[in-house]
């Protein structure tokens, strides 16, 4: 959240995208704040166990289709991507980015748990 808040506070015009994977709607942190972001910030919520009614995406792990730029290839000057979460999630998401052609040097990871 600090990155998105800083982006907003700075008045940045470059796009920022958050893909947030959460087990179910009850596990979502910062829900109202995330919903209030407007372009150039976009937020995509992915549910792994239980999705809310009307969610077009079935619950499940993140896939390459869930990532911005899916279907690549990623162009030179690709954005930095920050992946944070439990080790298994981080490794899976980073692998998907690499398979999609995102440059390894532009993927930043942070693990917890």
Q: What is the pLDDT of residues 42-72, one digit of tens each?
A: 999 999 999 999 999 999 999 999 987 655 5
DSSP state of 14: S
Q: What is the pLDDT of residue 75?
A: 60
Higher-pLDDT residue of 83, 72: 83
Q: Let me know: does 56 contact 62? Beta carbons within 8 Å.
A: no
Higher-pLDDT residue of 49, 15: 49
Rounded to 5 degrees, what angle do the CA atoms 104, 108, 111 make? 125
Q: What is the pLDDT of residue 68?
A: 72
Structure tokens at 36: 């209030």
Structure tokens at 70: 């899916």
* pTM, entire model: 0.85
What is the domain partition of the chain in residue ranges? 1-54, 61-112
């Amino acid at each position: 959240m600090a990155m998105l808040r800083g982006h907003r506070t700075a008045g940045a015009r470059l796009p920022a995208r958050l893909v947030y994977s959460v087990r179910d709607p009850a596990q979502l942190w910062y829900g109202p704040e995330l919903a209030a972001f407007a372009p150039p910030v976009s937020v995509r919520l992915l549910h792994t166990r239980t999705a809310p009614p009307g969610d077009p995406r079935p619950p499940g792990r993140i896939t390459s289709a869930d990532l911005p730029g899916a279907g690549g290839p990623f162009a030179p000057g690709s954005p930095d991507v920050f992946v944070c979460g439990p080790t298994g999630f981080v490794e899976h998401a980073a692998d998907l980015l690499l398979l999609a052609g995102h440059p390894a040097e532009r993927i930043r990871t942070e693990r917890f748990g």
